[in-house]
Amino acid sequence: MGKATGFKEFSRETVPYRDASARMLDFKEIYTEPEPEHLATQGARCMDCGVPFCQSNHGCPISNLIPEWNDLVYRNQWQEALTRLHKTNNFPEFTGRVCPAPCEGACVLGITNPAVTIKNIEAAIIDRGFAEGWVVPEPPTHRTGKKVAVIGSGPCGLSAAAQLNKAGHAVTVYERADRIGGLLMYGIPNMKLEKGFIDRRVALMKDEGIEFLVNQDVGRNVDPQTLIQNYDAVLLATGATVARDLPIEGREGPGVHLAMEFLTANTKSLLDSNLEDGAYISAKDKHVIVIGGGDTGTDCIGTSLRHGCKSLVNFELLPQPPESRAADNPWPLWPKIFRVDYGHAESAEHFGEDPRQYSVLSKAFLRDEAGNLTGVVTVDVDDKLQEISGSERTWKADLVLLSMGFLQPEHYINDALQLDIDPRGNFVASKDDYRTSVDKVYAAADCRRGQDLVVRAINEGREAAREIDRDLMGDTELP
């Protein structure tokens, strides 16, 4: 624990973002540099709570040793804090930036007071570790002679590759895009996760002996059956990349895009040419409507603002959440409360109001005689999502971004494999062993369980690696 009475003496103070008016002018990270003294004080708020729910199933899916490294930061023992952090988390530089922090929602202090700033402390530990040179390649001391192919280089694929390599197996990661990182690279915009952090970690993993292959689209230009023949195990970590669409009147035609089309093209153009090649969907001088909330919706808002959109509205189908936990949302469950994320704050700064409109159902996209998008027709709904008569409205729109979640993995990789598929379209694999219905083929994270958090993808990658190692060697020492 931190200071015995710290939770009584100190208030929660998060590390602030850069000023909204300034950060909207670029795609650099929104975060500011924390002071060690500030973090020590926040670490001191960690209680001697007996049962740390922050690292339980309700809190951290990878069971981070949160009270331990909070205490070590409070005591200025940063290198030891990094050691404890890396015991459970392969990539704290990712989760410390993009994870919504369910650990804070399950913090025992949060029952009566604002939770400990766990996410801030996590990010600071790993950033200092790299700055001080404490994070170095750690190649295995022996090789088993076994070969494993990992399909997909998102958080699940990367964590599985890291663990399997640590066990001594020869690991090759296949990625269909032109850069390694999957969702981390192209699904999360630069202002939330600068891509240099991904490149830095991948370079370290290469030095540890992992092979990475890009532009390798398994199921299209790479035969899955050949991989099964050439490797001792194949892990599918392809994600759930089939997005939920909105098949209403006027959907077909220019101006309506899935969120990932918008975000992926923007990040690729940014990395390739600093947006100078024009190979992205621009929101400049357009009336933008984002349909759907969540992190992806916020990222569409933030990106549209940086392009220079003319107006911005965000439709949410559900009612506005309460300011504090509702009676049916008790601790330690994730608090379903009203939050203002970075994109909402930026929009309020620029346009003078929060962009979100709650309890709104989209009915039709309007187009002119040339087929150009001109607007969206909506109707308000009640708490039971029933349409309210007479509430129809028309909104001006030149660009609509659909951010309504993801349904299942793409199935073309399965044309040659013929894996069993569950009713939701996911690859069937038990969480006990991650085996699919095809010998030597395993599946983990979003392609197995459906869309979920980065931290849960890391957890399933680690668990799948453990079970693959057990199957290959008869036993395993992987956690």
Q: Is 181 exposed, middle or buried, given 0-12, 13-18 or 19+ CB atoms closer than 10 A?
A: buried
Residue after which a domain boundary falls, among 89, 107, 131: 131
According to DSSP, the β-strands at 242-243 and 406-408 are antiparallel
* pLDDT for the residue 248: 98
The reply to whether 140 falls in a domain is: no
User: Cα–Cα distance between 419 and 151 in angstroms, integer?
Assistant: 15
* pLDDT for the residue 1: 64
Whether 310 and 219 map to the same domain: the answer is: no
* pLDDT for the residue 50: 87
Whether 293 and 157 map to the same domain: the answer is: no
Query: For the segment 387-397, what is each residue's pLDDT rounded down to a tens digit?
Result: 999 999 999 99
Whether 17 and 39 map to the same domain: the answer is: yes
> 453-456 long-range CB contacts below 8 Å, 24 or more apart?
453/61, 453/99, 453/100, 453/102, 454/94, 454/95, 454/98, 454/99, 454/155, 454/183, 454/184, 455/60, 455/61, 455/62, 455/95, 455/99, 455/102, 455/155, 456/61
Whether 194 and 275 map to the same domain: the answer is: no
CA distances from 300 to 17, 146, 396, 403 (A): 18, 43, 18, 8
Phi first, then psi, for residue 357 (nearest 5°) are -120, 120
Nearest to 64 by CA among 97, 36, 102, 98: 102
User: Cα–Cα distance between 381 and 358 in angstroms, integer?
Assistant: 9
- For 126-154, what is the mean pLDDT? 98
- For 61-81, what is the mean pLDDT? 96
**Eight-state DSSP code of residue 54:** G
Whether 323 and 447 map to the same domain: the answer is: no
Whether 376 and 274 map to the same domain: the answer is: yes
Whether 399 and 256 map to the same domain: the answer is: yes
**Token pair belonging to 205:** 């993993």
Nearest to 340 by CA among 310, 378, 302, 308: 302
- Above 70 in pLDDT, residue 31? yes
Whether 263 and 400 map to the same domain: the answer is: yes
How does residue 4 score in pLDDT terms, banded at 50, 70 and 90?
confident
Which H or E run contains 290? strand 287-291
- Above 90 in pLDDT, residue 228? yes
DSSP of 399-452: EEEE---EEE--SGGGTTT---B-TTSPBP--TTT-B-SSTTEEE-THHHH-S-
Whether 255 and 273 map to the same domain: the answer is: yes
pTM for this prediction = 0.96
- CATH code of the domain containing 213: 3.50.50.60
The reply to whether 459 falls in a domain is: yes
Residue partners of 279: CB distance under 8 A and separation at least 6: 265, 268, 269, 272, 273
Domain count, the chain: 3
User: Cα–Cα distance between 210 and 218 in angstroms, integer?
Assistant: 18
- Structural domain including 102 reads 6-131
The reply to whether 138 falls in a domain is: no
**Eight-state DSSP code of residue 134:** -
Whether 22 and 106 map to the same domain: the answer is: yes
Residue after which a domain boundary falls, among 404, 433, 449: 404
Whether 391 and 430 map to the same domain: the answer is: no
- 3-state DSSP call for residue 29? coil
Whether 237 and 255 map to the same domain: the answer is: no
Query: For the segment 33-64, what is each residue's pLDDT rounded down to a tens digit?
Result: 999 999 999 999 999 898 999 999 889 999 99
User: Cα–Cα distance between 151 and 173 in angstroms, integer?
Assistant: 6
Nearest to 33 by CA among 132, 114, 134, 123: 123
Residue after which a domain boundary falls, among 348, 383, 404: 404
For the chain, state the CA radius of gyration.
23
**Rounded mean pLDDT of the chain?**
97
User: Cα–Cα distance between 221 and 172 in angstroms, integer?
Assistant: 16
The reply to whether 341 falls in a domain is: yes
The reply to whether 141 falls in a domain is: no
Query: For the segment 186-215, what is each residue's pLDDT rounded down to a tens digit?
Result: 999 999 999 999 999 999 999 999 999 999
According to DSSP, the β-strands at 406-408 and 360-367 are unpaired
Is residue 233 a contact partner of residue 442, using CB atoms and an 8 Å limit?
A: yes
- Above 80 in pLDDT, residue 300? yes
- CATH code of the domain containing 121: 1.10.1060.10
The reply to whether 376 falls in a domain is: yes
Share of the chain above pLDDT 90, in %: 98
- Above 90 in pLDDT, residue 182? yes
The reply to whether 91 falls in a domain is: yes
Residue 357, beta-bridge partner list:
315
| N residues, the chain | 479
User: Cα–Cα distance between 179 and 231 in angstroms, integer?
Assistant: 23
- For 415-429, what is the mean pLDDT? 96
The reply to whether 49 falls in a domain is: yes
